[in-house]
Amino acid sequence: MADYTIKVRRFQPESGEGPYWEEFNVDLDPSLSVLDGLLQAKDRDDGSLAVRCSCRAAICGSCGMKINGQSGLGCKTQIGEAQELADKQASAAGEGGNGTPIVIEPMGNMPVIKDLITDMESTHWTKIRRVTPWLLPHGEPPEREYVVEPESMIDITQSMACIQCGACVSSCLSMEADPGFIGPAALAKAYRFVGDPRDAETKERLHDLAHDPHGIYDCTHCFSCIDACPKGVAPMDQIMRLRRKAGEEGIDDPNSGHDHEIAFVKIIEKKGTLDESLLLQESFAPGFKGKLKPSKRAIREMLGSIPTAIRGIKTGKMRSLHKLIPGVHPKLPDQDDVKAIYAHAEEHSEEFNLYIKGEEGELAEENVEKGIERSTDPDTAQEVKNG
Amino acid sequence: MPSHDVLVIGAGLAGQRAALAAAEEGVSVGIISKVHPVRSHSNAAQGGINAALNPGDSWESHAFDTIKGSDYLGDQDAVEIMTREAPEEILHLEHLGVTFHRNEEGKLGTRAFGGASAARTYYVADITGQAIMHVLYEQLMKYSEQIARYEEWFCSSLALDESGECCGVVTRNVADGTMELFQAKSVILCTGGNGQVWQPTTNALICTGDGIAMAYRAGAKLMDMEMIQYHPTTLAGKGFLITEGARGEGAHLLNAKGERFMEKYAPNKMELASRDVVSRAEQTEINEGRGFPDGTVALDITVVPKKRVHEALREIVLVGRDFAGVDITREPIHIKPGNHYTMGGVKTDVDGRTDIPGLYSAGETACVSVHGGNRLGANSLLDTLIFGKRSGRDAAARAKRIDASRPSKKVLEDEEQLIADIVSREKGSGRRISEIKRELGQTMDSKVAVFRDEAGITEALETVRRLKEEAKTAYIDDHGSVFNQDLIAAIELGYMLDNAECTCVAALERKESRGAQYRTDYPERNDEEWLKHIDLEQTDDGPQLSYSEVTITQWEPQERTY
């Protein structure tokens, strides 16, 4: 048992007053959760303290909240750890020592209804419904099951692991700037269908999400949602996969992210290092043909980048010859190592997700190290046990 | 007055399946849930769902395992229906988009589960319930024109018309506190179980036996209420669930001496014996001093290949890490039997019909009975879906057949008065709701658990009856309308106390040991006197007992060994 002070941002809509802070003293084992702390305060001190909760085990997704400024689940955050973070934050801000109150607030990017309860319907669920969140197969289903690659099901199970808690939405920096952004949870949900071989509208879904100005290119790649997600769904990764699929579909990416990525890979494959001065040309007018007959867009982009280049020269960011003149950058001497990396990547091109690689990728690393093939058939393994 | 042909109360798997099935029949459907549907506790079903779909497997085999698991208290006609319809339901879910695990050929793959004679459990990693429920919710969103969703609406009582038929429900919109009387031709109760009556429990805070209590109060019969499942692998203290899938994948149970003690209790099936058998074995080890000092035994998952653990038991890796501080891939985790499932509930027929015309029930709220004295792992999801579907269809057929009768405003006024009473109680006028709830939970967990006897159950019943009195003066802090969770907790406490009283009365009555009911004072199963269901009906003096026959079709009761 240990004593903690939790400082809750409260709002009682019927009081006629604005939000305020209230501190509660609770005593519980450090391994118990922040939600346990809140429930103790609710049970002992004030039953009007409002917080959605149900399973207490990070499955139902009810108790999304901000703890010390970080979005997550109250039930999955140990109160002892929350205390450590509160102390660390306070000492970093020069505000002293141990026993700093643990700050608990409602989720961000959503209207607050009462205390820690937010209006998820008007934000989160409206966005989920925006991505046509149901399977759209072609024609009548088969007599038995759809036969699909086993990996494809494991692949989208990462998106299926989403419990719709809203922590990613709460933490999303893009949505703060553009409330219209479809957002991490809904786009992760979209990948669940785009990656599903049973869905027949993959192309239409990708075009829809790519052409919406609040769609897949609205993400700024800030990783906040990955940090916030309590279930390892990694919404940003799912958005990046949507982008990659859109690129493969030949969808014109207004940010040229897809072409840019290919240019990076190509240049490094050739030179073993990044020849930055080639990037622009390779991204917009790749290869021999691109140089001879650049597209209108390529010319526009090249001209448009001249002021940036001039600024770079003026401020001294582009001084050396190989940063100024495309193709002058020397190759790295040991090309064999670079080739080996590319060969390895080619061989292991299949994407490892959470259900394959394990937490923190430890299993994937072990597999790569030991060269273990993924082949054991769980069904036969079980039959042996079963018999 | 909002009105629907079919009104479903509760939006877990049974409720959502019932709503979709009713909507397919072309009637207007409303679905009411006190939490957002995806928060429902069906989420927590980890391991999978049973069906005899593999070539070489048969529904008869599945049915026999279920009946043997039930300790012959399951009604065999109902079990036959459930197991026969199981394969079609799995394929239906697969077609809707559930991401079931595939074998190397890309077809549906299975895992082994307790009490089953074949590997027939279909699964999505260890988030099967969640994966199915989110897919059904996708369908609810898709058919939003046919199915009206009332999310975060709380039901507090049923409305009957003059001829005693169910014609509506009294509800409270949690978001603003408005009370509303809903009219319906058919009402389906799918509000889950009553796990919160016990502390600790694997069940969510919302599992307070609402539907069971509402039906009971309206005059419907309850059945098998003494049959409460203790799951063999729950975390000490918090009661969190470790899926049976762990043992299905090959994990061992060890006592403090490192012995695989199941050898003594179930030499053939070992860790995969029925849940009541495994829970009793564990409790015996603990009681006889071969457990760990914290009152637990160990579950050793390190014998399962790491790759397989990450692929198929990821949720358990997280539960171990986040809630017990244990890396299950490297060390055993301490577990004990914990409250898990309500086999009993509102007595229904195979189409979900209760004793009250127009009132249906499905899922954990209902008792068909397919689980009898003990439910097999991975049969609960199946129960929710099969009988959810069947009650949805029958409720729709009834709605097409009859004219609506208008519920009397009086039920609404009574309910409003009741709420006004609760809100007006002065602080300090009685005990706090949370105190009573805690005492109830601890009492039930110590007296009406894995091992029971007359003295203990009697003591529990006396406590429950005292708490019922105390609940009448218990006060709340919140006097507002918006999200008054305090008020809802007070009403739920009333539901829980009714559930507890019924369980105690039935457990006291059944003077034998069968399934989850193990009486140390009557340690043998006694088919001659007790191969029958105990039914309960509400009277002013508490639950009134009666009996009903167990339906036996082709499997005569025999000795049960694993």
* pLDDT tens readout for residues B234-267: 998 888 999 888 999 999 999 999 999 999 999 9
Query: Beta strand pairing status for A2-10 and B359-361?
Result: unpaired
The answer to whether the CB of B496 falls within 8 A of the CB of B197 is yes
Give phi and psi for B310, each to the nearest 5. Answer: -65, -35
Nearest by CB: B110 against A156, A357, A379: A379
* Measured distance CA(A238)–CA(A289) in Å, rounded: 34
Q: How far is CA B293 from the centre of its chain?
A: 31
CA-to-CA separations, B136 to A157, B32, B425, in angstroms, rounded: 16, 15, 42
CB contact under 8 A, B94 and A146: yes
Q: What is the mean pLDDT of residues A59-67?
A: 97
Q: What is the DSSP letter of B377?
A: T
Burial of A346-358, coded b for 16+ CB within 10 Å and e otherwise, reads: eeeeeebbbbbbb
**Is 0.90 exceeded by the ipTM?**
yes
CB contact under 8 A, B104 and A377: yes
pLDDT at residue A345, rounded to an integer: 78
CB contact under 8 A, B477 and A47: yes
pLDDT tens for each residue of B335-354 = 999 999 999 999 999 999 99
Q: What is the mean pLDDT of residues B303-310?
A: 91
The structure tokens 């940063």 sit at: A323
The answer to whether the CB of A224 falls within 8 A of the CB of A185 is no
Residues 6+ apart with CB under 8 A from A181: A172, A174, A175, A214, A218, A219
pLDDT at residue A361, rounded to an integer: 45
CB contact under 8 A, A157 and B319: no
Q: Which amino acid is at B85?
A: E
* Measured distance CA(A93)–CA(A368) in Å, rounded: 43
Q: What is the mean pLDDT of residues A211-219?
A: 93
- Bigger pLDDT: A360 vs B384: B384
Q: Which amino acid is at A357?
A: K
The structure tokens 């509000």 sit at: B191
Nearest by CB: A113 against B109, B125, B483: B483
pLDDT at residue A355, rounded to an integer: 54
* Measured distance CA(B218)–CA(B159) in Å, rounded: 8
CB contact under 8 A, A134 and B142: yes
Q: Which of A33-42, A292-301, B146-155, B362-371 has the lowest mean pLDDT?
A: A292-301
Taking the CA of residue B322 and the nearest CA in chain A, the distance in Å comes to: 7
The structure tokens 């490192």 sit at: B258
CB contact under 8 A, A378 and B323: no
Taking the CA of residue A335 and the nearest CA in chain B, the distance in Å comes to: 35
Residues 183-242, chain A: which have Cβ within 8 Å of B? 193, 196, 198-199
Sequence length of chain B is 562
* Measured distance CA(B282)–CA(B335) in Å, rounded: 9
**pLDDT over threshold 90, residue A309:** no
What percent of chain B has pLDDT above 70?
A: 100
Residues 6+ apart with CB under 8 A from B329: B301, B302, B306, B309, B310, B317
Residues 324-343, chain B: which have Cβ within 8 Å of A? 325
Taking the CA of residue A386 and the nearest CA in chain B, the distance in Å comes to: 7
Q: Does B108 touch chain A (CB under 8 A)?
A: yes
pLDDT at residue A97, rounded to an integer: 74
Please, which pLDDT band fits residue A333 given cuts at 50, 70 and 90?
A: confident
Please, which pLDDT band fits residue A318 given cuts at 50, 70 and 90?
A: confident
The answer to whether the CB of B463 falls within 8 A of the CB of B446 is no
Q: What is the mean pLDDT of residues B450-466?
A: 98
* Measured distance CA(A112)–CA(B496) in Å, rounded: 31
Give phi and psi for B529, each to the nearest 5. Answer: -100, -30
Best residue of B41, B65, B95, B438 to probe chain A, by most A CBs closer than 10 Å? B95
Q: Does A56 touch chain B (CB under 8 A)?
A: yes
The structure tokens 């519980």 sit at: A28
Please, which pLDDT band fits residue A351 given cuts at 50, 70 and 90?
A: low
Q: Where are the alpha helices (DSSP H) in B402-516?
A: 409-424, 433-447, 454-471, 485-509
**pLDDT over threshold 50, residue A373:** no
Q: What is the mean pLDDT of residues A4-19?
A: 97
Q: For residue B428, what are its two tokens?
A: 């300090």
Residues 6+ apart with CB under 8 A from B561: B266, B268
Q: What is the mean pLDDT of residues B259-278?
A: 95
The answer to whether the CB of B324 falls within 8 A of the CB of B299 is no
CB contact under 8 A, A386 and B112: yes
The structure tokens 């014609």 sit at: B167
* Measured distance CA(B206)–CA(B489) in Å, rounded: 9
Whether the bond into B305 is cis, omega within 30 of 0: no
CB contact under 8 A, A381 and B308: yes
Please tell me whether residue A356 adopts helix, strand or coil conformation: helix
CA-to-CA separations, B505 to B361, B374, B515, in angstroms, rounded: 22, 19, 17
Strand partners of residue A67: A70, A104
* Measured distance CA(A337)–CA(B5) in Å, rounded: 71
CA-to-CA separations, B447 to B129, B207, B382, B508, in angstroms, rounded: 31, 20, 31, 11
Residues 6+ apart with CB under 8 A from A287: none
Q: Model's pTM, two decimal places?
A: 0.91
Highest mean pLDDT among A128-137, A252-261, B305-314: A128-137
Task: Show residues of chain B in contact with A377, CB under 8 Å.
Answer: 103-104
Task: Show residues of chain B in contact with A141, CB under 8 Å.
Answer: 91, 95
The answer to whether the CB of B457 falls within 8 A of the CB of B504 is yes
> Catalytic amino acids of B?
275
CB contact under 8 A, A386 and B36: no
Best residue of A17, A147, A160, A383 to probe chain B, by most B CBs closer than 10 Å? A160
What percent of chain B has pLDDT above 90?
A: 92
**pLDDT over threshold 50, residue A362:** no
Residues 279-338, chain A: which have Cβ within 8 Å of B? none
Task: Name the residue in chain A with its Cα closest to that of B53.
Answer: A144
Task: Name the residue in chain A with its Cα closest to that of B101.
Answer: A153
Q: What is the dihedral of CA B458, B461, B465, B466, to 10 degrees?
A: 70
Please, which pLDDT band fits residue A349 given cuts at 50, 70 and 90?
A: low
